[in-house]
Chain A
Amino acid sequence: MLELDKISKVYKTGTFGGKELLAVNNVSFDVKDGEVISLIGESGSGKSTIGKMILRLISITSGTIRLNGVDIATLKGGALKDYYRNVQGVFQDPFSSYNPVFKADRIFRIIREEFFPEIKIGEWNKKIDSSLRAVGLNPDEVLNKFPHQLSGGQLQRFLIARALLLDVQFLVADEIISMLDASTRIDVLNLLAELKSRGLSILFITHDLSLGYYISERAMILYRGGVVEMGSTEQVYYHPLHPYTKMLIVSVPRLNKKWEEVEVKLKAKHSKLPTGCVYYERCLFADKDKDCAKRPPLIEAESGHFVACSHYMEVNKGV
């Protein structure tokens, strides 16, 4: 199981790195074995940063990430390689994950060279066959081809098959569906759900709430680097407590219901507070005299359902 304990990330921005941007602010959660957690937020909310920190692609500014009790920041050499045997990521744009000069199945060869040099080639090819079949591809159709000869959905499934070859326990799926067509989207989603039933844990990063609901048990809503709401998907989707979550849910375009006449305001409603609630500017419920000037802590409003808002009781009643 993977634990994130109070992790933060500060990026240096500006021409000479003079400014600082707090991309992830004090986020803690854990992912149990065989669990799918959705990380939902708009662009700039820090959701991809969290995924990249788990994959050790970027450093953590403060806090620790532990896999089965071991702090991943301390891993080096062979231990780090072992970590990558267990934890892998698949990203948004399948086309840019491949080198267009080489054939797409080169990614499998590299896995063998790096991780399994002792396995004989015949046996390895059998393994490739079975993992390709596991992701719903026909090996004869997809092997020995260049990336441009395969569709986005096929390439995306290739990357998942690559992760399967390593027998991973934990997969970071960062917006893996958003570049795919509606008709192939659902196949990749179903595949993830199937893998989950085999014991794989998935961190499903998305901005699409309906996809998050489809496959995950727990959902986390991120706003400007902080968790504003966390709970089981039913709780978060049917009884949202945070004003931001509420706004997100009414904004989702749906097929059975026209958008309600709730206006989404893009302009700030209030001026910014230097400290205090991150959502204050856009919040419909905010009131400076109340506790919004202080940063609201993440409190457990009902069993397993956490919210960071000083007056979630009102939010729950109103609108």
Chain B
Amino acid sequence: MSLQVENLKVYYQTLRGDVKALDGATFTIEDGEIMGLAGESGCGKSTLSNSLILLKPPMRFVGGRVELDNEELPIWDMEKMNNFRFKKISTIPQYAMNAMNPIRKIGKMVSEILKSKKVDFKSKLPELKRRLDLVELSHDVLNMYPLELSGGMKQRMVMVLSTLMNPSLLMADEVTSALDVSTQKAVAKMLVGFRDREFVKNLMVISHDISILYQIADNIMIMYAGKLAEKAPTSVIINSPRHPYTKLLISSLPDIGVKYSQKKLTGIPGKPPLLLDPPTGCRFRERCPVAFQKCLNEEPPFMEIKKGHFIACWKEFEKNA
């Protein structure tokens, strides 16, 4: 049906204590929805996606509940999750280009993966070929080594492989970041195509490049320092963001037609807090231009202020009240 995440907390264990990389995330992804996830490096976006599929040490499950198609996911249990991985939840990893076994021909590697999941390779082969056509890869790639493919081709091959079992949830972590603009566009459109053809039901696309998300996502969620900052339909996030962090983030993006000599853009001063011992109150307050007394002591909840528009900011709650 959909993905529901409730108050998910995942920390990293270190010798000096827990790093609170994901500290209470609550959201849902509806069927057929593409949700974009954006934020600075170290904000917890990869932690969120990794924890849903492979929660391994030093990651530690602290609390929360994840439901996929009305079934609870035992994400804290490595063994039990095997029944879900690849079949119901799948991922396109961040360095998909290096995700394939370099000493196996690609066809052989696919058959081995399917065998390990007790799926018959021969019966899946026609579907596999159909999907290769769809991403404009020749069937010959099955007889090639990953080395013989270009970066963009490897990326597409991994995309086909990840979605072969029609998973309910697919997570695509920075899949377009290392590609050229033209390949980037083709890959992004293929992700949308996979959704339209119902190969995947829920799609979570992670990228630090908001302009890519704007092109393909239905909703965008912004994270900051392990917390959710804002979630809203794509056009709302881009055109009328409410959270001060989202506003600053969006105004710092250069676009064609913006020149230094005509319009100087500014970055966000400061840097995110250390998550080993995060400050009390709002985690963005040190860099926030509108922070006030309340932000110092109380942590803002992640609340829906309009239908489909969630935000965690005291100043905006005040305005809304």
Q: Which residues of chain A have a CB within 8 Å of any CB of chain B?
A: 42-43, 151-152, 181-187, 189-190, 193, 207-211, 213-215, 233, 237, 247-249, 251-256, 258-259, 264-267
Contacts and interface: CB of A to CB of B under 8 A. Distances in A.
Contacts of B63: none
B208 A181 contact: yes
A252 B185 CA distance: 8
Nearest to B255: A210
A264 B186 contact: yes
B182 A255 contact: no
Interface string B171-213: 0000000001111111011000000000000000000111110
B256 A237 contact: yes
Contacts of A213: 254, 256-259
Given A151-B271, A248-B182, A251-B181, A182 B258 contact: no
Contact of B41 (A42, A181, A208, A254): A181
A210 B209 CA distance: 13
B319 interface: no
A251 B248 CA distance: 25
B252 interface: yes
Given A181-B41, A186-B266, A253-B212, A209 B180 contact: no
A183 B247 CA distance: 11
B255 A190 contact: no
A249 B250 CA distance: 21
Given A190-B260, A214-B259, A42 B214 contact: no
A189 B254 contact: yes
15 contacts: A151-B271, A181-B208, A182-B208, A183-B40, A207-B181, A208-B181, A210-B258, A214-B260, A215-B260, A248-B182, A251-B185, A252-B256, A255-B238, A264-B186, A267-B136
Contact of B185 (A43, A190, A253, A267): A253
Interface in B231-282: 238, 248-250, 252-261, 264-268, 271
A287 to B, nearest CB: 22
Contact of A266 (B181, B186, B188, B209): B186
A227 to B, nearest CB: 17
A214 B258 contact: yes
Which 7 interchain pairs have the tightest Cβ spacing?
A42-B180, A253-B211, A187-B267, A193-B260, A183-B268, A251-B185, A251-B181
A58 B16 CA distance: 45
B151 interface: yes
Given A182-B40, A209-B181, A266-B152, 7 more contacts: A185-B252, A187-B266, A210-B254, A215-B259, A253-B184, A264-B182, A264-B186
B252 A266 contact: no
A43 B151 contact: yes
Nearest to A36: B260
Contacts of A248: 181-182
A15 to B, nearest CB: 12
A109 B180 CA distance: 37
B173 to A, nearest CB: 16
Nearest to A244: B182
Contacts of A237: 256-257
Contacts of A267: 136
A255 B259 contact: no
A233 B40 CA distance: 30
B215 interface: yes
A118 B267 CA distance: 39
Given A42-B180, A43-B180, A252-B181, A189 B210 contact: no
Contacts of B266: 186-187, 190
A259 B185 contact: yes
Contacts of B271: 151
Nearest to A43: B180
A137 B151 CA distance: 36
